């Protein structure tokens, strides 16, 4: 059999091992891994690394934010940007706001992505309206269609759920087989402090980082872990930024609870000092905010010891103008600016330079944190997240020696928080289902070629089957709690 394409002579790395091999591709799939393969087309990877394409399981694309602001990236600009940085799968959100009909939300997002995405995509839901119809009918239908995870918010006036609602959503997730992702920050602390700050005339972006205290993250994480334990529902805490929050997750995991943690580039590579540059600090405002060097270290440690399970971008793209960060120009207060930073394109190159290149993590850990764990946790493995026979040929060929100073990225944000950094190690060719979609910085993908990925139930979302004492007591009395 003559292969369609052979990625020849490179060093292949998966989350398990690193080895020299050619990768043979037929159509959209990897069909052979070995030496001396020949094919109709050869992609020379001599001296380069051949890695699974990145899977970014947390990004916001063409989405209305918690504050009601439309993201600057649509499915075309976001996925083009992702592809340039070596990411070949994204899992953004379909966001239900208060009062929204979930079925309609889903149909809208499918339509937005279908005609524009250049790489494959799944969806999570955001649930802000957990009414009877949503929980009993629309959620099960969405889960049945392969959308097996949803995010809930403990803060943001327009999105946050009360503890009872969180328990309702968790019960539905447990019943139907989905993973609950949690934005864990204590709303009362943030809004109380923000009110005081504004009253005192302290409205610059730097006060945003003051209001989102470390304790607000830790309290919410601790609370939501107790809620999840009550209904035996696996959870994943997104964008964890503090040593205290990471420790809460570590302790829950030490009790064998299914609690997963995620962190993002902004918590490894930025600090609150970046925000303290006047109104321009809006570029670095995200929730939770970047902290300090000690918190960065805690995030690295969490990634190493497993307290943090995945490293995602939380790409939340807003421009430095009235459409996003600065609705009232220079007069915009930190309470009024859209929260979020871009990161789809640089997520992998940043971790490659500061993680693998700096000797903090191995190549296998790099693949695990950027690709395999995401695919595994969210039900896409082994189709995505590895280079193996039968997997989709989603591959990034990395030049270890290539150095570039970050100027601008391919998204529609107009700035990057990482401008001016010199990164060493870049993806020079990126394949999606066997097609070279980026080569030496040139895009070769047509709009709408990306496909929706219906996701399977994963190990991560299976309940433990372990009850807290009160729930056990109910069972012993033969009056079990009905979820
Ligand atoms: N939460 C996110 O997950 N992303 C951007 C802003 C936010 O609050
Ligand atoms: Zn969030
Ligand atoms: Zn997010």
Measure the CA–CA gap between 178 and 181, rounded to whole angstroms: 10
Task: Answer whether 314 contacts ligand 1 (Cβ < 6 A).
Answer: yes
| Ligand 1, atom 5, residue with closest C-alpha | 340
State in Å: Cα 114 to ligand 1 middle. 24
Percent of the chain residues past pLDDT 70, beyond the cut = 100
Which of ligand 1's atoms lies nearest the C-alpha of 287?
8
Nearest one of 314, 267, 295, 455 to 375, comparing CA atoms: 455
Task: Answer whether 236 contacts ligand 1 (Cβ < 6 A).
Answer: no
Choose the residue to mutate in 66, 126, 284 for probing ligand 1, maximizing ligand atoms within 8 Å of C-beta. Answer: 66
Average pLDDT over residues 61-70: 93
The pTM assigned to this predicted structure is 0.98
Could you tell me the two tokens for 284?
A: 């670095």
Could you tell me the two tokens for 241?
A: 């930024």
Q: In the predicted model, is pLDDT for residue 89 greater than 80?
A: yes
Task: Answer whether 212 contacts ligand 1 (Cβ < 6 A).
Answer: no
Q: Work out the number of other CB atoms within 10 angstroms of the CB of residue 474.
A: 14
pLDDT at residue 59, rounded to an integer: 98
Q: How many H helices and E strands in the chain?
A: 16, 18
Q: In the predicted model, is pLDDT for residue 51 greater than 80?
A: yes
Q: In the predicted model, is pLDDT for residue 168 greater than 90?
A: yes
pLDDT at residue 67, rounded to an integer: 87
**Residue 2 — very low, low, confident or very high, per pLDDT cuts 50/70/90?**
confident
Which of ligand 1's atoms lies nearest the C-alpha of 155?
8
**Residue 307 — very low, low, confident or very high, per pLDDT cuts 50/70/90?**
very high
State in Å: Cα 329 to ligand 3 middle. 24
Q: Work out the number of other CB atoms within 10 angstroms of the CB of residue 128.
A: 22
Which of ligand 1's atoms lies nearest the C-alpha of 238?
3
Task: Answer whether 181 contacts ligand 1 (Cβ < 6 A).
Answer: no
pLDDT tens per residue, range 241-287: 999 999 999 999 999 999 999 999 999 999 999 999 999 999 999 99
| Ligand 1, atom 7, residue with closest C-alpha | 287
pLDDT tens per residue, range 186-233: 999 999 999 999 999 999 999 999 999 999 999 999 999 999 999 999
Ligand closest to 286 (CA) is: 1
Q: Which three-class secondary structure string do you get for the chain?
A: CCEEEEEEEEEEECCCCEEEEEEEEECCEEEEEECCCCEEEEEECCCCEEEECEEEEEECCCCECCCCCECCCCHHHHHHHHHHCCEEEEEEEEECCCCCCHHHHHHHHHHHHHCCCCCEECCEEECCCCCHHHHHHHHHHHHHCCCCEEEEECCCCCCECCHHHHHHHHHHHHHHCCEEEEECCCHHHHHHHHHHHHHCCCCCCHHHHHHCCHHHHHHHHHHHHHHHHHHCCCEEECCCCCHHHHHHHHHHHHCCCCEEEEECHHHHHCCHHHHCECEHHHHHCCCCCCCCHHHHHHHHHHHHHCCCCEECCCECCCCCCCCCCCCCHHHCCCCCCCCCECCCCCHHHHHHHHHHHCCCCCHHHHHHHHHHHHHHHCCCCCCCCCCCCCCECCEEEEEEEEEEECCCCCCCCCCCCCCCCEEEEEEEEEEECCEEEEECCEECCCCCCCCECCCCCCHHHCCCCCCCHHHHHHHHCCCCCCC
Average pLDDT over residues 286-304: 98
Which of ligand 1's atoms lies nearest the C-alpha of 314?
4
Task: Answer whether 190 contacts ligand 1 (Cβ < 6 A).
Answer: no
Choose the residue to mutate in 93, 316, 342 for probing ligand 1, maximizing ligand atoms within 8 Å of C-beta. Answer: 316
| Ligand 1, atom 1, residue with closest C-alpha | 287
State in Å: Cα 8 to ligand 2 middle. 41
Nearest one of 94, 178, 166, 105 to 140, comparing CA atoms: 178
Percent of the chain residues past pLDDT 90, beyond the cut = 98
Average pLDDT over residues 8-31: 98
Choose the residue to mutate in 339, 341, 342, 413 for probing ligand 1, maximizing ligand atoms within 8 Å of C-beta. Answer: 339
* DSSP alpha helix (H) spans, 54-122: 75-84, 102-114
Q: What is the overall mean pLDDT for the chain?
A: 98
pLDDT at residue 106, rounded to an integer: 97
pLDDT tens per residue, range 339-357: 999 999 999 999 999 999 9
pLDDT tens per residue, range 112-140: 999 999 999 999 999 999 999 999 999 99
**Residue 170 — very low, low, confident or very high, per pLDDT cuts 50/70/90?**
very high
pLDDT at residue 122, rounded to an integer: 98
Q: Which residues surround ligand 2, an ion (CB under 5 A)?
A: 183
State in Å: Cα 71 to ligand 2 middle. 14
Choose the residue to mutate in 57, 58, 59, 60 for probing ligand 1, maximizing ligand atoms within 8 Å of C-beta. Answer: 60
């Amino acid at each position: 059999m003559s292969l369609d394409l052979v990625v020849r002579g490179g060093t292949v790395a998966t989350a398990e091992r690193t080895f020299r091999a050619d990768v043979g591709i037929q159509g959209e799939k990897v069909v052979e891994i070995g030496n001396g393969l020949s094919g109709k087309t050869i992609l020379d990877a001599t001296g380069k690394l051949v890695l699974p394409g990145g899977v970014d399981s947390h990004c916001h694309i063409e989405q209305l934010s918690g504050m009601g602001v439309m993201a600057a990236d649509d499915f075309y600009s976001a996925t083009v940007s992702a592809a340039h940085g070596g990411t070949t799968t994204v899992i953004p959100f379909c966001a239900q706001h208060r009062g929204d009909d979930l079925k309609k939300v889903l149909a809208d997002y499918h339509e937005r992505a279908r005609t524009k995405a250049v790489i494959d995509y799944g969806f999570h839901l955001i649930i802000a309206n957990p009414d009877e119809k949503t929980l009993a009918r629309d959620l099960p239908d969405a889960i049945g269609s392969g959308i097996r995870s949803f995010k809930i918010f403990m803060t943001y006036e327009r999105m946050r759920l009360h503890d009872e609602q969180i328990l309702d959503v968790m019960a539905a997730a447990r019943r139907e087989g989905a993973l609950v992702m949690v934005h864990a920050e204590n709303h009362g602390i943030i809004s109380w402090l923000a009110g005081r700050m504004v009253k005192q005339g302290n409205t610059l972006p730097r006060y945003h980082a003051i209001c989102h205290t470390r304790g607000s993250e830790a309290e919410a994480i601790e609370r939501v872990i107790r809620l999840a334990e009550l209904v035996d529902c696996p959870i994943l805490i997104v964008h964890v930024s503090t040593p205290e929050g990471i420790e809460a997750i570590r302790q829950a995991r030490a009790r064998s609870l299914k609690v997963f943690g995620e962190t993002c580039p902004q918590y490894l590579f930025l600090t609150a000092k970046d925000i303290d540059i006047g109104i321009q600090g809006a570029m670095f405002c995200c929730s939770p905010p970047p902290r300090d060097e000690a918190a960065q270290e805690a995030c690295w440690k969490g990634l190493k010891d497993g307290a943090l399970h995945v490293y995602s971008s939380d790409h939340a793209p807003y421009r430095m103008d009235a459409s996003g960060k600065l609705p009232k120009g220079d007069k915009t207060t930190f309470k009024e600016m859209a929260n979020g930073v871009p990161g789809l394109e640089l997520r992998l190159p940043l971790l490659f330079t500061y993680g693998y290149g700096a000797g903090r993590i191995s190549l296998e850990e790099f693949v695990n944190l950027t690709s395999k764990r995401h695919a595994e946790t969210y039900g896409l493995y082994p189709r995505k997240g590895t280079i193996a026979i039968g997997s989709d040929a989603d591959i990034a060929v990395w030049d270890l020696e290539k150095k570039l100073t970050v100027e601008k990225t391919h998204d529609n944000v107009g700035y990057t928080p990482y401008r001016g950094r010199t990164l060493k190690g870049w993806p020079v060719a990126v394949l999606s289902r066997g097609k070279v979609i980026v080569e030496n910085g040139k895009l070769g993908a047509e709009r709408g070629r990306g496909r929706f990925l219906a996701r399977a139930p994963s190990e991560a979302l299976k309940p433990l089957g372990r009850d807290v004492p009160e729930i056990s007591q109910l069972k012993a009395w033969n009056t079990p709690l009905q979820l």
